[in-house]
Amino acid sequence: MVLNFPLRLMRGRIWAWFASLLICTLSNAHATTASPERDEQVAAAMIFNFARFAEWPRGSFDQYNEFRICVASNESIVTPLKELESRTIKNKPVKVYLKSEGEMVDGCHIDILSASIDMPAPDEGTLYVAMSEGLAPDVAMLELIRVGRQLRFSANPSLARQSGLKLSSRLVDLAVRVR
Amino acid sequence: MYKSLIMTAFSAAILLRGADAQDLMDLSLEDLLAIEVTSVAKKPQRVDEAAAAVAVITQEDIRKIGATTVPELLRYVPGVEVGEIDGTSSAVSARGFNYRYANKLLVLIDGRALYQSTQSGVLWDQVMFPVEDIDRIEIIRGPGATLYGANAVNGVINIVTKHAADTLGSLVAAQTGVTTTADQFFGRFAARQGIRLSDNGAMRLYVTGKDVPALVGSDEEPVNSGAQSIQAGFRVDLEPNDKDSFTLQGDIRQLDFDVTLEFTTPVGPFGSLVFEDEEIDEGYNILGRWTHSFSDDNQLSVQTYIDDSHRTEFGASFDYTSFDLDISQFIRWGERYETVWGFGYRTVDDKVVGEDVLTYTVEEFYAELYNGYVQQDIHFADKRLRFSLGSKFEHNDFTGFEIQPSARAIWVGEKDWSVWGAVSRAVRTPSRLETSINFDLGTVPPIPELGLFLPLQSALVGSQTLDAEDLLAFEAGWRKSWDQKFELDIAAYYNDYRELVALIQLDPELITAPIGPGGAEVPVTIEQNLGVDNAREGEVYGIEASALWRVTDQWELRLVGDLKDTWFSEVPTAVGISQVFQGLSPNYQWNIRSDYQLTPELLTVTTLRGVGELEGSPTEGYTDLDFRLAYRPRPQMEFSLIGENLLEAGRREFNSIIYPAPYSEVERKVSATMTLRF
């Protein structure tokens, strides 16, 4: 197997162009100018979909006749999440509860973790979703990941299982990283 | 989907107006992942709103089917024909004209064309990247020439790889198996590492390799056609702000393959020649793309790539370097009008050096191709009625200027149905093989009892005066879905071909040489060559259908199939192997696939398929069965058992046509796979 690529590489007359492209690419890699409102709308839609593809332990909906989403009150995702209150998840009307520092909400089916509030001790039957990567690796079962304008997520099905939850294989397949 | 394909250059998502927060809630997770969060107007275009015969192979399909090559995946698409010729070679085409060097189908990987004019087709053994990196495969049956240009005659296959942000983390996949007749072991591995570069970028690196078994001959022994390959590559995606995206990607490959070629002269019962050799194919490609959004309604994309390969085959070496630059822009004008326009420039620098039976009359060739295109979409009736008009204007060094217009229309009904129609013209420009080949077919010794008193020498010679092949295509289709439980998609077409290249018998010539003391010119050989000419007309018409039935939450059934008929004009001077350039195609194909989720951990995928006999050849039709049992003990870990071609110990899928592979059969195979993500 003799590779004679180097000679042929030299023959390419447009390598300077590619070098320019690479330099241009890397030199432009500075901070993102985000569009937060849109970003949070998509994140909320994604969390809505997470609920479709997760299973809660039997009896999780016995205590309250609603699907409880808990989120820190000062997070910008609150507004698009509130729009979910016209919808149902698992045949229960969605209700969004706002958390503030030092104040807990009982019976959250989804608890959205953000940097603005202390991490809770994990509760059985609660799906913890982190708003960013690495925020609460020991608690978050799903983490939103932002790369440039792309919004993705990672999944930790083992952690979910420990809390009696089950993430569907379809959801795990779509995760960019599985822990 | 035309827009989807052209917009691939802009982004993974497609431009449509008006996705508000409530709309977003109605999108599937897959669709949400295709949205760039800061681009307000972006939303995937639905396949059922495309005025073309479109199919999409999704990531989920790829995972379930468990196929490891693109041709294997394409067997699941109606109207696409796939035949395995030998261990490394496949014949792939759409709507007819199938053979090893099928040249009426344009295949792209992330916008990079795979067609090689030196060998007049796509060399599928060069497509080696891991299927795990594929985001989707978009297949358009029918002309796509308005946006893509020459060779997008019968279809376009656009393979879109995943954004680097989709491949963070690690992946390891392996497969090992054995054929059941000749007991040949085969295997494959792939390893991938995704890395986050910053908040705005990601990259992945991969390496993959495989050991491909040979096919077997009629004596059930392997024909010398196995292969070993290795390929490595990368992709970097950076989005430094909400206006610009940059992609840089590349691959480098090495393929060692064994060939046995059996040449038999078509002009007599003599002169068969058998080659057995070890060949190589090596190459690299690198592609860069910059996308800029001036606004939600105005996006510009600049893409360029270089593709370089070196291959030995037929006792010849083929060096091929292409450079391509494409600039395109999407503009939305108010509520009613959308325009895609652009231009492209391409150079091809090749060298073919033959030593034995194959030589090119022009060994080194430099060609330039430039084009411009525009497509205008107009919406009416709240976007339910859409017209699309466009044309490509192209200049190439073989046939000069070519114009390829297209007109399409679609009506999207209120109750999940749509009907569409299209009229298009497309051309295929001659390849280097057709214009420069000189292929020695051997010499027949004198046979006085048959009236042959001199040696008869024969060769297949190309023609520098070939014109482009011309297609006028008429298409129509209808789609309907019923409560997300049942979907039906039907397309019909009539293709009228002119100026088709045919193999013809040239006038015999007496070759003289000076003989004796006086040096008198005396006939010593009769030269009876075969040539090529735009001598044939043809018609291909057919119907294609696909249906999906979600029987239960755990069980899905898919049925795809196509029927077609062909007519080709007689060419008075055509020789016995006249179908060389019109290929070998079945009149029908069908495929039933059942995906059954037995338990959350166990999935079965069963595929029964039938393919008709290849028209005009001794290759019989077949019915066969593939089965896959996948076990997922943990979400990030999957093991599977695969049985392929279970109904027959061996069967022939294709036969030699131009590419002189000896008689060989595809064997039954059993294999085991493992995939880990972490």
pTM equals 0.86
Put simply, the answer to whether A25 touches B238 (Cβ < 8 Å) is yes
Interface predicted TM-score of the whole assembly (ipTM), two decimals = 0.72
Q: What is d(CA B213, CA B202) in angstroms, rounded to the nearest whole number?
A: 36
pLDDT of residue B21: 56
pLDDT of residue B15: 35
Q: How far is A104 from chain B (nearest CA, A)?
A: 27
Q: What is the three-class DSSP state of B178?
A: strand
Interface residue A152 vs chain B (CB under 8 A): yes
Query: Is the Cβ of A115 closer than 8 Å to some Cβ of chain B?
Result: no
Query: Which of B88, B82, B117 has its CA nearest to residue B103?
Result: B117
Among the ranges B83-87, B199-203, B500-504, B555-559, which has the highest mean pLDDT value? B555-559
Per-residue pLDDT at A133 exceeds 90: no
- Using alpha carbons, list the distances in angstroms from residue B498 to B385, B495, B502: 32, 10, 11
Sorted by sequence, the CB contacts under 8 Å of residue B584 that are 6+ apart come out as B83, B91, B98, B99, B614, B615, B616, B617, B619, B654, B655, B657
Mean of the per-residue pLDDT values of chain B = 86
Q: Which of B66-70, B213-217, B264-268 has the lowest mean pLDDT?
A: B264-268
| A88 → chain B, closest CA residue | B25
Residue A179 at interface with chain B, using a CB cutoff of 8 Å: yes
Nearest CB to B37 within list A13, A50, A149: A149
Residue B75 pLDDT exceeds 50: yes
Does A150 reach chain B within 8 Å, measured CB to CB? yes
CB-based burial label for B103 (10 Å; 0-12, 13-18, 19+): buried
Report CB contact under 8 Å: B240, A29. yes
Residue type, B279: E
Instruction: Find the mean pLDDT for residues B55-67.
Output: 90
Instruction: Report pLDDT for B645.
Output: 94
Confidence of residue B423 (pLDDT cuts 50, 70, 90): very high
The fraction of chain A above a pLDDT of 90, given in percent, is 17
Cα distance from B356 to chain A (closest Cα, Å)?
22
Query: Is B661:B85 a contact under the CB 8 Å cutoff?
Result: yes
pLDDT of B272 reads 60
B405, pLDDT greater than 60 = yes
Name the token pair of B33.
């992942």
Most confident of A10-14, B487-491, B525-529: B487-491
Who contacts B534 (Cβ-Cβ below 8 Å, separation ≥6)? B466, B467, B469, B499, B500, B501, B502
Asked if residue B132 has pLDDT above 80, the reply is: yes
Which chain B residues contact residue A179 at CB under 8 A?
Answer: 636, 678
- Report chain B residues whose CB lies below 8 A from the CB of A152: 33, 165-166, 168
For residue range A77-96, list pLDDT tens digits in order: 888 888 888 888 888 898 99
Per-residue burial over A116-125, b if 16 or more Cβ lie within 10 Å, else e, is: ebebbebeeb
Q: Residue B45's pLDDT is what?
A: 53
pLDDT tens-digit map of B364-394: 999 999 999 998 989 998 889 999 999 999 9
- pLDDT in the model for residue B397: 85
- Per-residue pLDDT tens digits for B273-295: 677 788 899 999 999 999 998 88
**String of b and e for B51-61 (b: at least 16 CB within 10 Å)?**
bbbbbbbebeb
Contacts of B64 (CB under 8 A, 6+ apart): B595, B603, B605, B628, B630
Q: Which residue of B24, B236, B242 is in closest CB contact with A35?
A: B242
The pLDDT score that the predictor gives to residue B5 is: 39
- The reply to whether B166 touches chain A by the CB within 8 Å rule is yes
pLDDT tens string A99-118: 876 677 788 899 998 887 77
> Over the stretch B300-319, which tens digit does the pLDDT of each residue have?
999 999 999 999 988 889 99
pLDDT for residue B402 is more than 70? yes
Q: Is B293 within 8 Å of B299 (Cβ atoms)?
A: yes
pLDDT at A5 over 60: no
Between B328 and B43, the higher pLDDT residue: B328
Model confidence pLDDT, tens digit, residues B192-236: 999 999 889 999 999 999 999 888 888 888 887 789 999 999 999
Using 50, 70 and 90 to split pLDDT, how confident is the model at B450? Answer: confident
B326 in reach of chain A (CB within 8 A):
no
A48 closest CB neighbour out of B25, B30, B241 = B25
Least confident of A28-42, B159-173, B636-650: A28-42
Q: Which residues of A touch B236 (CB under 8 A)?
A: 25
What is the distance in angstroms between the Cα of B450 and the nearest Cα belonging to chain A? Answer: 50
DSSP letters spanning chain A: ----HHHHHHH-TTHHHHHHHHHHHHHT-------HHHHHHHHHHHHHHHHHTEEPPTTTTTS-SSEEEEEETT-TTHHHHHGGGGSEETTEEEEEEEEBTTB--TT-SEEEE-TTSPPPPP-TT-EEEESSTTS-TTT-SEEEEEETTEEEEEE-HHHHHHTT-EE-HHHHHH-SEE-
More confident residue, B62 or B657: B62
Report pLDDT for B267. 47
- Whether B450 contacts chain A with CB within 8 A: no
**Contacts with A25 from chain B: Cβ below 8 Å:** 236, 238, 246, 248, 288, 290
Mean pLDDT for chain A?
78
Task: Identify the band that residue A16 occupies on the pLDDT scale cut at 50, 70 and 90.
Answer: low
A38/B199 Cβ within 8 A: no
Q: Using one digit for the tens of pLDDT, what is the confidence trace for B4-51?
A: 433 333 333 333 334 455 566 777 777 767 655 443 333 345 667 788
> Comparing B467 with B119, which gets the higher pLDDT?
B467
pLDDT for B615: 80
- Band (pLDDT 50/70/90 cuts) for residue A6 is very low
The shortest CB-CB distance from A178 to any of B25, B286, B636 is to B636
Q: Is B209 on the interface with A (CB under 8 A)?
A: no
In chain B, whose CA is at the least distance from the CA of A45? B25
Interface of A with B in 6-45 (CB under 8 A): 8-9, 11-15, 17-18, 21-22, 24-26, 28-35, 38-39, 41-45
Position B80 scores a pLDDT of 95
pLDDT at position B17: 36
Cβ of B678 within 8 Å of Cβ of A179? The answer is yes
A13 has pLDDT over 70:
no
